[in-house]
Chains A and B, each alone.
Chain A
Amino acid sequence: MSTIQPNIEQPVSEEMALVRRAKRGDDQAFEELVRRYDRNVFRIAQHITQNREDAEDVVQEAFLKAYSNLEKFQEQSKFYTWLVRIAVNEALMKLRRRKPERTVSLDEEVKTEDDSLPREVADWSPNPEQMYNQGELREILTRTIQGLPAGFRTVFVLRDVEGLSTEETAQALELSIPAVKSRLLRARLQLRERLNRFFQKRASGDGDQ
């Protein structure tokens, strides 16, 4: 049986062209990849570690690891997804070192806390952006996401903050698609519930705290 394999070469993305140049030893191409993604890696790292110095270390270590293992990158995913996987692992390692009493892994925290059926349901009106100034809102958002278990926080950050697809998130975290969806649902509902305490309170005029 003859194979019906269209002999059409996939167009090489700009990202992959840079990766291939970097693999051939072109450091300028690698530097371009660093510039393209360092802000994203920093955000992801700081969301996971919740610590700026750790995040700085993670950025450096992740890019250095990517550089020194570039030959091993099989080009079966986007370079960015591969890089995120490295960065997430580095960030989780930092977290483990900082919290040795607790094992931090993406497989923990799948406990079935009953977060799925909110009890008090009130709309957020006016919008939170109108209720708080930028600094106050930033503080609320930071404190709220810090309270999420690392496994949920990581999925939420990749999927909803960084905008990776469910499939890319699954690849980057080496999780199944159902696992990503399940964690994402719990993360979203828990964040909503926690933010609700701030936004609902203000909206109903219960005072400042």
Chain B
Amino acid sequence: MKCSEFLNELTNYLDGALDARTKSELDNHLAWCHNCYVVCDTTRKTIEIYHNSELYELPDDLRARLESAIMSKCCAHKKSEPPTS
């Protein structure tokens, strides 16, 4: 297996979306190819860091304000719409 072939399957490999045979071929490649091992490992870390990063959390006060604005817009919409059926 070439490195480019390994990289093409990297997403499926990391997501556990491969059949046993292909996974085993990739495992074998990783066992001897240090570059692909590092790319695989640091890509996994990239995903984990972003997944756990809590970027753009919605602060409580803004959340309360948004929820209230949404519901009052929904109520206004309901009143402006004639009842169906």
Contact = CB atoms under 8 A, between A and B. Distances in A.
Interface of A: 25, 27, 30-31, 34-35, 38-39, 42-43, 46-47, 55-56, 59-60, 63-64, 67-68, 71, 116-118, 121-124, 127-129, 137-138, 141-142, 145, 156, 160-161, 163, 166, 181, 184-185, 188-189, 191-192, 195-196, 199
Contact of A128 (B45, B74, B75, B84): B45
Interface in B1-45: 3-4, 7-8, 10-12, 14-15, 17, 34-35, 38-39, 41-43, 45
25 contacts: A27-B78, A30-B71, A39-B63, A47-B56, A56-B62, A59-B70, A60-B73, A68-B81, A116-B4, A117-B7, A122-B38, A127-B45, A137-B53, A141-B55, A160-B47, A161-B53, A181-B11, A184-B11, A185-B11, A188-B10, A188-B47, A189-B7, A189-B39, A191-B46, A196-B42
A141 B73 CA distance: 34
A47 B54 CA distance: 12
A196 to B, nearest CB: 7
B65 to A, nearest CB: 9
A167 to B, nearest CB: 11
Say what secondary structure dominates the interface of chain B: helix
A56 B66 contact: yes
Nearest to B80: A68
A191 B42 CA distance: 10
B3 A185 contact: no
Nearest to B84: A71
A39 B11 contact: no
